[in-house]
Structure formats: C-alpha cells, structure tokens
C-alpha cells in the first residue's frame, strides 16, 4: 500500500491506475486492499475503513481515507460543501490557446453506460461542471495541464478536455488515439494520463488545512513531463 500521509484520523494513499476505488464484494478495489492492509498491520479482524472520496479507475493519485467514523463523516461534509481542494495534472493532445482559463459546461452521466456527455443547461439531468486550468508545459503535440476542480462530476476533467479537442492521453473512451502505460485486454483497466496530484482538506481533529502532494507515476517519463513536475513542483 502506497501510503503518502497518515495520522490517527486519516490517511492519503496513492491509488494506481486501473484499480477501482470501491466495488462490490469480491471485486478487487482499493477499499478491499486497505482492509487487508489494516488487518495485517493491526491484527484486527474487521478494521474500519472510511471511503469518503473516490477517483476514476484509470486515474492515479491521491485518495483520502477516514480511519474513524467521525473523521469520515467530516470529510463527507467537506466534499459536499466543496471545502476540499483537489488538484490534478493531465497530459493532453493539443495545446489550449490561452495559458490559463476556466471551463464551464453542463454535463450528465449516461445511466446505462460508464460514460458522460455534454448537454444543454435545460436538460433535466444536467449538472454544471467547472474547472480551472493552467498550461504547465508542452512537448511536441502534447501538453501538461494543472487542473483545479470547482465541481466534482463523474468523468468531468476527461469529458471537458475532450469536448474542447484536448483528449487526455490514453483515454480512448473520450477520443484519445495514443496508448499510455501498460495495456490491458480490458479497456476499463487501461491507464490514462490523469493524476490526482494534490488534496487539501481540513483536519477532522483540529480543523487545520492539511495539504498532501502525490508524485506522478514513473510512466510519465515516457512522455517527457515527469521531471518537470517532480523537480519544479509546478503543481504544489
């Protein structure tokens, strides 16, 4: 288990690409791995693992976990009230015209598919999606973006980027034609170049802002951005 930060109330782990955050019983997930991790470490038969936070299966990076029911409840409230700051980095095809900007759309989750789409604001299932981006670097036809979420919709970053002609590398669901990292025969397990880089939350005990950074995977080296992010801390 790649634990990045931990105390008596919570921990932040680095979820690898291709692993579900939570899943039905019997399906491999980060939640199941955490249960086993805590069992082996503490000797408890049924340790508590609170899952107030999740990221998409093909996405890597920071996931916040509650170690007590009280902490988990507080984190859920913080997510609900948008008090938790989530920053991602993404490698996309193409380069935005402006170095910084805000993307605003209306989108919906397609109920019978693991997919989302842009819709009109008047659509009965429409939910507003807002993010802020910053262009960090470009290498050839690829660009690295820092993304701050104002809303947290399913597949939000993936859809909004693709909608503007900047599909995330490896994300064939939303139009990418570039492979990224180890390939699987199961498309849903294939990694994409989207990483939950930083999370800032209020500590459940003392209320202090707590910031945790998670380094990008080594596979990012193949696209030329790993060292820029690691050495420059451009996403810190």
Across 54-75, average pLDDT: 95
For residue 227 the two structure tokens come to 């060292």
Distances in Å between the Cα of 106 and the Cα atoms of 73, 109, 218 are: 29, 11, 34
pLDDT of amino acid 34: 94
Taken in order of first residue, the domains within the chain and their CATH numbers are 3-232 (3.30.2350.10)
For 207-223, how does the pLDDT look when each residue is reduced to its tens digit (9 = 90+)? 999 999 999 988 888 88
Q: Which of 7, 56, 171, 215 is catalytic?
A: 56
For 5-62, how does the pLDDT look when each residue is reduced to its tens digit (9 = 90+)? 999 999 999 999 989 999 777 788 999 999 999 999 888 888 899 999 999 999 999 9
Q: Which of the residue ranges 69-78, 111-120, 139-148 would you say has the lowest mean pLDDT?
A: 111-120
**Dist. CA 30–CA 7, nearest whole Å:** 19
pLDDT of amino acid 23: 78
pLDDT of amino acid 232: 43
pLDDT of amino acid 90: 96
Of 159, 154, 147, 137, give the one whose Cα is nearest residue 198. Answer: 147
pLDDT of amino acid 236: 39
Q: Cα-Cα-Cα-Cα dihedral of 149, 85, 34, 15, to 10°?
A: 50
Given a contact cutoff of 8 angstroms between Cβ atoms, the answer to whether 28 and 21 are in contact is no
pLDDT of amino acid 98: 95
pLDDT of amino acid 233: 47
pTM across the whole model: 0.89
141 in catalytic set: no
Of 215, 226, 235, 192, give the one whose Cα is nearest residue 86. Answer: 235
Q: What are phi and psi of 40, to 5 degrees?
A: -70, -35
Q: What's the chain's average pLDDT?
A: 90
Q: Answer whether residue 137 shows pLDDT above 80.
A: yes
Across 99-113, average pLDDT: 93
Which of 114-120's residues contact partners 24+ apart within 8 Å by CB, and which partners?
114/173, 114/188, 115/155, 115/173, 116/153, 116/154, 116/155, 116/156, 116/158, 116/159, 117/159, 118/159, 118/163
Q: Cα-Cα-Cα-Cα dihedral of 185, 29, 57, 148, to 10°?
A: -160
pLDDT of amino acid 161: 98
pLDDT of amino acid 71: 96
How many angstroms from the chain centroid is the CA of residue 2? 16
pLDDT of amino acid 187: 64
For 176-191, how does the pLDDT look when each residue is reduced to its tens digit (9 = 90+)? 999 887 766 676 678 9
Q: Answer whether residue 114 shows pLDDT above 50.
A: yes
């Amino acid at each position: 288990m790649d634990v990045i930060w931990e105390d008596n109330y919570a921990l932040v782990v680095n979820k690898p690409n291709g692993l579900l955050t939570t899943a039905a019983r019997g399906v491999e997930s980060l939640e199941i791995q955490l249960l086993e991790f805590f069992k082996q470490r503490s000797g408890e038969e049924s340790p508590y693992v609170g899952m107030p936070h999740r990221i998409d299966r093909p996405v890597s990076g920071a996931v916040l976990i509650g170690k007590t029911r009280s902490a988990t409840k507080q984190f859920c409230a913080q997510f609900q009230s948008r008090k938790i700051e989530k920053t991602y980095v993404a490698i996309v095809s193409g380069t935005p015209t402006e170095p910084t900007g805000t993307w605003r759309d209306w989108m919906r989750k397609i109920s019978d598919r693991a997919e989302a789409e842009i819709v009109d604001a008047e659509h009965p299932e429409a939910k507003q999606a807002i993010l802020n981006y910053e262009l960090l670097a470009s290498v050839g036809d690829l660009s690295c973006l820092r993304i701050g979420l104002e809303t947290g919709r399913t597949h939000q970053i993936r859809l909004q980027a693709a909608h503007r002609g900047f599909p995330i590398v490896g994300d064939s669901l939303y139009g990418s034609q570039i492979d990224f990292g180890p390939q699987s025969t199961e498309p849903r397990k294939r990694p994409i170049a989207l990483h939950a880089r930083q999370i800032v939350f209020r500590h459940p005990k003392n209320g202090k802002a707590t910031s945790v950074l998670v380094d990008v995977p080594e596979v990012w080296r193949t696209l030329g951005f790993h060292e820029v992010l690691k050495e420059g801390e451009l996403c810190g």
